[in-house]
Each structure stands twice: as structure tokens, then as C-alpha cells.
Amino acid sequence: MTRKVLFLCTGNYYRSRFAEALFNAVAGRAGLAWRAESRGLAVELGVNNVGPMSAAALRWLSRLGIATDACARMPLAVEPGDLRGADLVIAVKEAEHRPLLGERHPGWAEKVEYWHIHDTDCAMPEETLSALEQKVRALVRRLLG
């Protein structure tokens, strides 16, 4: 049986989408019976997001040799069923996402694993994507147990 990890960020455009694509590639290569999906907690805040996914994230994935054809969908807002259907939920920045979870999805803020990965307001793409890559690879190792 395949288990599911759900990555959350604010706009489902940059960090969570990158984590989803990277996780699925790395977990697939490792034979891990997990798949990732991603969603946004406040997609409407991504007014400057152009297209389905961040160009910086797409370039990083391409540099890693990861196909980006699965990244063509537009950002999606998280729904209660997405949260309930996941075996593990990871929000990529606690300071940003814990309040949104508490406000928009009561009862979930304490059920989520939080990382501390900055968005473009606090870090350059190289820093953010490198940190996310390290966290995702460590997560796959952890789940391989």
C-alpha cells in the first residue's frame, strides 16, 4: 500500500511544489512506497505567481535530472480531505504556516510536522531550494527506516 505525504506552503507555487516533485523522484528511485502531493494554505496571496510553478524551482529540478512534465498543473488550495487523506503532513515554514493552519483548518496545527524553509521574501532561491533538497532527501532516508 502506498502512503502519502502532503507538503504545504502558502501559494503551492514554489516550495511545496518543488518538495513534491523532488520527493516523488527520490522516493521512486529508492523504491519507497510513498508518494507526495502538495497544496497551498493561501493560494490567493500568490498574486505575483506566474504560471503553474516557479521558474527557479523548475530549473533546479531540471539540474537534478528530474522530469518536470508532472509540474504543469496550476497551484491548488488545500482542502480538508487533502489533510485527512495524508499519512504525513509537512508545512515548510512553521512561522508562516502554523497561523494559517490554525485559522483555516482548526485542529490541524498540532498534527503537522514543520520545517523552517524561507520563501523569496527572506532567502534567495539557491538557499531555499538547497535547504529543501536536503530536507526532502533526509525525509526519504527517514521513511526508508
Tell me how far apart the alpha carbons of residues 22 and 116 are, in angstroms, rounded to a whole number: 17
Q: Which runs of E-coded beta strand occur in 2-130?
A: 3-9, 34-40, 88-91, 113-114
The predicted pLDDT at position 51 comes to 84
Tell me how far apart the alpha carbons of residues 98 and 16 are, in angstroms, rounded to a whole number: 15
- Helix/strand/coil for 38: strand
- 20-24, long-range: CB < 8 A, 24+ apart: 21/57, 21/61, 21/66, 21/68, 21/70, 21/71, 22/61, 22/64, 22/66, 22/132, 22/133, 22/136, 22/137, 23/136, 23/139, 23/140, 24/70
The predicted pLDDT at position 68 comes to 87
The predicted pLDDT at position 49 comes to 81
Enumerate residue ranges in the chain where pLDDT < 50: none
The predicted pLDDT at position 111 comes to 97
The predicted pLDDT at position 8 comes to 98
- CA-nearest of 64, 65, 88 to 8 is 88
The predicted pLDDT at position 37 comes to 97
Q: Strand 113-114 to strand 3-9: parallel, antiparallel, or no bridges (unpaired)?
A: unpaired
**Chain length of the chain:** 145
CATH class for domain 3-144? Answer: alpha beta
The predicted pLDDT at position 36 comes to 98
pTM of the full predicted structure?
A: 0.96
pLDDT digits (tens, 9 = 90+) for 46-70: 767 888 999 999 999 999 999 888 7
Distance of CA 64 to the CA centre of its chain: 17
The predicted pLDDT at position 112 comes to 97
Contact (CB, 8 A) for 68 and 62: yes
Tell me how far apart the alpha carbons of residues 66 and 133 are, in angstroms, rounded to a whole number: 12
